[in-house]
């Protein structure tokens, strides 16, 4: 089963996404900031990364840049999680190589799982990335 | 004057007399001119772009001392909050600068306390009448040490000091002090008249500057309070959203993945109600945030070409669930495609607002959305056959926090915070459009309309 890395600093928000992806039988790894997220991405090689933007230590956009600069990880699809006010940053994220951004308050968790499913399906059809 | 019948000597004395009179008149005229030109200069200072009270006082003191040849002119402002007189300026004359250099401070005390009732400046303030003193000491004591007083006397032996209250609207606002090294009676008529006329004008100059300064301070404070309010608003809304999203998300997980556990209908109902309330709350918080960002001008718009009919059809499709429970039909009349120039998300917000308002207020009947062109604009009408709004309540429609009934007690909070149309109005205005109510009749329905610029050809 696909492995999802969720990088999110709010513990309850993190637990909620962890819960729904676990219920959907995904393997879930978590990190609470960009620094930790980068380490986890390197060690667990996730199928897809769900990445919050506003985080302490290293924010989502900084982590995204580092990810895309690393030949080993640059092919992992990244979906940005944002709040309504962060749309501008999310657009920046797209130009940095994220495949999609999702405004957290606009979709219930199940919908987010569905969107992630579609993205992974698309990627596996094209046989990227290898995990 | 060549009259031969009058002896030459008499003629001469006559001429001398006339000449003398002419000199006198000329002199008076020159003095009057000087007064006028000085008064004009002070008026110029009042009307100039300078608004700093110290700068104005300095300019007035300098002009006064140079025009009337008063060696030392000082201006005090009455500060009620500290019950004292504060020295605003001393004329920058040679003598004045010399004293400053020698004492390390101005000739007059920087601050004179009002409770120092023996001080003659304080006496002038409390009696509201001018005073002439021939000894500086009654001004300087107890602020200036004896050795400094002696230094002043050596540099500039003052014989007369004129202390004049500056009175504006019957209130003392400050004091004008002039010190000269001559006795009082050596002043020319011109100088005496000048002092008298100056005092009221200087009073106005200082009072104006003072009021302006006060106004500016209040203005800055108000702006700060306003900014704080805006910031509070957006931070509060922001911080509210994260926990709300978690409540909503977890409730939906309960509904989506634990339906077996929710078989008891009352439990299912509980969860449903939590979910519905959370959705409502998130919508409210979003509206608050939208409003505060719109009002602060912080909401960014991304203008592009938008096919309006297509967007309207999408809203109708998505809102279908909202009117399935009612006997309401929804229809569209207009072209199949028509491009406007605006932010697609924001125009969508306006359309959703109008359509959901129409649905909310219509129990059964028909809602029609009509699109047409009017000049350089696309005109959109949303007509319903619902409750309608009385004429006197229509004026509340686009106001913040107002629902059409306009009364806080009868407000129907299930209908939202009363921000929808207000936000729609702000959004449309930012996109070059307008919104209005075209007609409404109680019991028969309402028509709302808005205009948005057509996409420019080429």
Of the partner residues A13, A23, A108, the one whose CB lies closest to the CB of residue B242: A13
Express each pLDDT in B231-288 by its tens digit.
Answer: 787 777 778 888 999 999 999 999 999 988 888 888 888 999 999 889 888 888 888 8
How many whole angstroms from its chain centre is CA B408? Answer: 30
Q: What is the pLDDT of residue B48?
A: 80
Express each pLDDT in B49-85 by its tens digit.
Answer: 777 889 989 998 998 888 778 889 999 999 999 999 9
The answer to whether the Cβ–Cβ distance between A84 and B300 falls below 8 Å is: no
Q: What is the pLDDT of residue A130?
A: 43
Nearest 5°: CA angle at B229, between B226 and B233?
145
The answer to whether the Cβ–Cβ distance between B257 and A23 falls below 8 Å is: yes
Task: Give start and end residues of each alpha helix (H) in B341-414.
Answer: 344-360, 391-394
The answer to whether the Cβ–Cβ distance between B246 and A12 falls below 8 Å is: yes
The answer to whether the Cβ–Cβ distance between A13 and B241 falls below 8 Å is: no
The Cα-based distances of B393 to B204, B440, B445, B450 in angstroms read 49, 10, 14, 19
Express each pLDDT in B118-177 by its tens digit.
Answer: 899 999 999 999 999 988 889 998 899 988 999 898 898 899 999 999 999 889 999 999
Residues of A in contact with B242 (CB under 8 A): 10, 13, 83
How many whole angstroms from its chain centre is CA B205? Answer: 22
Residue labelled with tokens 């939590």: B274
CA distance B205 to B198: 10
Counting residues of chain B whose pLDDT is more than 90, the rounded percentage is: 27
State mean pLDDT over A59-79. Answer: 91
Q: What is the pLDDT of residue B458?
A: 47
Closest CA of chain A from B389, distance in Å:
32
Closest CA of chain A from B252, distance in Å:
6
Residue of B nearest to A104 (CA): B245
CA distance B354 to B360: 10
Q: What is the pLDDT of residue A126?
A: 52
> Does any CB of chain A come closer than 8 Å to the CB of residue B280?
no
Q: Report chain B's terminal Cα–Cα distance, integer Å.
A: 93
Out of A78-87, B154-163, B220-229, least confident range: A78-87
Residues of B in contact with A90 (CB under 8 A): none
- B346 sits in the region (left: phi over 0; alpha: psi -120 to 50; else beta) called alpha
- Decide: pTM greater than 0.80: no
> Does any CB of chain B come closer than 8 Å to the CB of residue A130?
no
DSSP output for B214-254? HHHHHHHHHHHHHHHHHHHHHHHHHHHHHHHHHHHHHHHHH
The answer to whether the Cβ–Cβ distance between B245 and A88 falls below 8 Å is: no
Comparing B175 with B442, the larger pLDDT belongs to B175
User: Hey, which residues 73-92 in chain B have their CB within 8 Å of chain A?
Assistant: none
Task: Give start and end residues of each alpha helix (H) in B325-384.
Answer: 344-360
CA distance B138 to B150: 14
Residue labelled with tokens 């957006």: B234
Counting residues of chain A whose pLDDT is more than 90, the rounded percentage is: 61
Q: How high is the ipTM of this complex?
A: 0.87
For chain B, give the mean pLDDT: 85
Length of chain B: 458
Q: Report chain A's terminal Cα–Cα distance, integer Å.
A: 11
3-class DSSP assignment, residue A113: helix
Nearest to A56 by CA among A31, A74, A39: A31
Total beta-carbon pairs less than 8 A apart between chain A and chain B: 51
Q: What is the pLDDT of residue A109?
A: 94
């Amino acid at each position: 089963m696909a492995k999802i890395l969720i990088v999110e600093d709010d513990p309850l928000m993190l637990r909620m996404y962890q819960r729904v992806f676990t219920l959907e039988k995904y393997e879930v790894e978590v990190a609470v900031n960009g620094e930790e997220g980068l380490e986890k991405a390197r060690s667990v090689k996730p199928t897809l990364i769900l990445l919050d933007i506003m985080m302490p230590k290293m924010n989502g956009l900084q982590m995204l840049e580092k990810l895309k600069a690393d030949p080993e990880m640059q092919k992992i699809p990244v979906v940005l999680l944002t709040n309504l006010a962060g749309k501008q940053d999310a657009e920046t994220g797209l130009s940095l190589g994220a495949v999609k951004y999702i405004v957290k308050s606009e979709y219930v968790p199940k919908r987010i799982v569905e969107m992630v499913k579609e993205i992974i399906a698309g990627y596996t059809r094209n046989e990227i990335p290898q995990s | 004057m060549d009259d031969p019948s009058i002896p030459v000597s008499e003629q001469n004395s006559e001429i001398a007399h006339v000449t003398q009179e002419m000199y006198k008149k000329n002199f008076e005229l020159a003095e009057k001119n000087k007064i006028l030109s000085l008064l004009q200069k002070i008026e110029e200072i009042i009307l100039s772009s300078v608004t700093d009270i110290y700068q104005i006082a300095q300019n007035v003191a300098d002009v006064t001392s140079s025009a009337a040849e008063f060696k030392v002119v000082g201006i005090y402002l009455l500060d009620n909050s500290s019950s004292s007189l504060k020295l605003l300026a001393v004329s920058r004359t040679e003598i004045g600068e010399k004293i400053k250099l020698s004492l390390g401070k101005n000739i007059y005390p920087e601050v004179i306390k009002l409770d120092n009732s023996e001080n003659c400046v304080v006496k002038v303030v409390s009696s509201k009448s001018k005073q002439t003193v021939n000894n500086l000491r009654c001004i300087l004591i107890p602020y200036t040490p004896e050795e400094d007083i002696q230094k002043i006397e050596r540099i500039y032996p003052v014989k007369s000091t004129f202390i004049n209250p500056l009175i504006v609207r019957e209130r003392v606002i400050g004091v004008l002090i002039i010190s000269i090294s001559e006795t009082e009676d050596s002043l020319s008529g011109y100088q005496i008249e000048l002092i008298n006329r100056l005092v009221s004008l200087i009073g106005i100059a200082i009072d104006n500057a003072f009021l302006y300064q006060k106004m500016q301070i209040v203005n800055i404070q108000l702006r700060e309070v306003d900014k704080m309010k805006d910031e509070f608003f957006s931070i509060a809304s922001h911080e509210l959203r994260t926990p709300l999203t978690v409540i909503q998300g977890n409730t939906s997980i309960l509904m989506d993945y634990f339906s077996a556990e929710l078989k008891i209908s009352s439990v299912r109902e509980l969860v449903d109600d939590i979910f519905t309330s959370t959705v409502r709350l998130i919508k409210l918080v979003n509206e608050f945030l939208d409003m505060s960002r719109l009002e602060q001008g912080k909401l960014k718009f991304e203008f592009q070409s938008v096919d309006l009919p297509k967007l309207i059809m999408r809203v109708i499709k998505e809102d279908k669930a909202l009117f399935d429970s009612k006997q309401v039909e929804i229809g569209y009349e207009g072209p199949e495609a028509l491009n406007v120039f605006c932010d697609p998300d924001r125009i969508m917000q306006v359309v959703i607002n109008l359509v959901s308002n129409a649905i909310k207020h219509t129990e059964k009947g028909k809602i029609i959305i009509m699109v047409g062109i009017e000049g350089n604009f696309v005109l959109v009408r949303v007509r319903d056959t619902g409750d309608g709004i009385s004429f006197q309540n229509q004026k509340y429609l686009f106001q913040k926090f107002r629902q059409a009934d306009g009364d806080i007690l009868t407000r129907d909070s299930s209908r939202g915070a009363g921000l929808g149309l207000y936000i729609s109005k702000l959004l449309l205005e930012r996109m070059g459009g307008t919104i209005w109510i075209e007609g409404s009749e109680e019991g028969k329905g309402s028509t709302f309309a808005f205009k948005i610029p057509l996409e420019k050809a080429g």
